[in-house]
């Protein structure tokens, strides 16, 4: 089971990375328990997450997730070995993305090496915050889009052109996933469906997408593969509209 995503290779796009989203959800669509992700998936799910990390040039997380919970960016030796065997750099570039620059790096981020951490932020980030971020990581500043949010196309273009990121793995949270889908920037969804009913109210109602209805022309996806584990987890891979129309 642990090997099902070991041999993946992905198309190369010209102006941005090929973008994969990886999430685990319960049968009732929940991606957090007690307001945090974490224990929904099994050890096999976590092994497959490492496979996807091994196949990606960079791993991106949204600022909301970092504000909600501890984020461990340390790279286990096994992943380094697998990457080296695949002819890749030992570590995927760790990328945090934030419109406002409000990132609790001291409090919630562990295992991040400044020379392997990139923060994508926007022109809305105050200069003082930028200086703080620059002391901990590389920083790139994107313009705003027509909705006055960080321009994701611009940020992804930077990843491709300045950092040679051809395959980008996004691990949420739901607001970042939604923004990518809505802007036609997410190519594939790796969804683990855990055999659990979680329920929950408030922040626990988060599903893999947080945001307004997705425009009808962007809702459809195509199932690329299904795998079932002995523990009744389903591992689903879907192509999303940008990959379908490419």
Binding site for its own copies (CB under 8 A): 25-30, 33-34, 178, 181-182, 189, 191, 193, 195-201, 204-205, 207-214, 218-223, 226, 228, 232, 234, 236, 238, 240
Smallest gap from Cβ 139 to its own copies, in A, equals 30
Measured from the CB atom, is 52 or 133 closer to its own copies? 52
> Under DSSP, is residue 168 helix (H, G, I), strand (E, B) or coil?
strand
Helix (H) or strand (E) holding 39: none
Smallest gap from Cβ 171 to its own copies, in A, equals 16
Site of tokens 């920037």: 185
**What are the distances in angstroms from CA 58 to CA 171, 175, 215, 244?**
11, 19, 28, 23
Chain center to CA of 182: 15
* Spatial separation of the C-alpha atoms in residues 94 and 92, rounded to whole Å: 6
Measured from the CB atom, is 138 or 205 closer to its own copies? 205
Smallest gap from Cβ 19 to its own copies, in A, equals 14
Query: Token digits for 189?
Result: 């969804």
> Under DSSP, is residue 126 helix (H, G, I), strand (E, B) or coil?
coil
Smallest gap from Cβ 61 to its own copies, in A, equals 18
Measured from the CB atom, is 79 or 175 closer to its own copies? 175
Measured from the CB atom, is 160 or 210 closer to its own copies? 210
Smallest gap from Cβ 214 to its own copies, in A, equals 4
CB distance 21 to 176 below 8 Å? no
């Amino acid at each position: 089971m642990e090997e099902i995503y070991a041999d993946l290779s992905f198309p190369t796009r010209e102006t941005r990375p090929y973008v994969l989203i990886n999430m685990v959800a319960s049968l009732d669509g929940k991606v957090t328990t007690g307001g945090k992700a974490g224990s929904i998936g099994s050890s096999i799910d976590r092994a497959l997450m490492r496979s996807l990390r091994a196949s990606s040039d960079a791993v991106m997380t949204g600022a909301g997730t970092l504000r909600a919970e501890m984020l461990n960016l340390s790279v286990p030796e096994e992943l380094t070995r697998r990457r080296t065997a695949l002819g890749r750099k030992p570590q995927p570039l760790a990328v945090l993305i934030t419109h406002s620059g409000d990132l609790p790096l001291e409090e919630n981020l562990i295992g991040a090496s400044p020379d392997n951490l990139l923060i994508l932020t926007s022109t809305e980030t105050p200069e003082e915050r930028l200086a703080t971020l620059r002391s901990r990581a590389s920083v790139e500043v994107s313009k705003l889009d027509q909705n006055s949010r960080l321009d994701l196309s611009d940020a992804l273009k930077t990843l491709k052109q300045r950092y040679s990121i051809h395959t980008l793995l996004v691990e949420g949270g739901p607001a970042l996933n939604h923004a990518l889908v809505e802007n036609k920037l997410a190519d594939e969804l790796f969804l683990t469906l855990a055999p659990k009913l979680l329920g929950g109210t408030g922040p626990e109602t988060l599903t893999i997408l947080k945001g307004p209805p997705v425009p009808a022309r962007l809702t459809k996806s195509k199932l690329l593969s299904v795998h079932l584990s002995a523990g009744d987890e389903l591992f689903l891979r879907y192509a999303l509209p940008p990959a379908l129309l490419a």
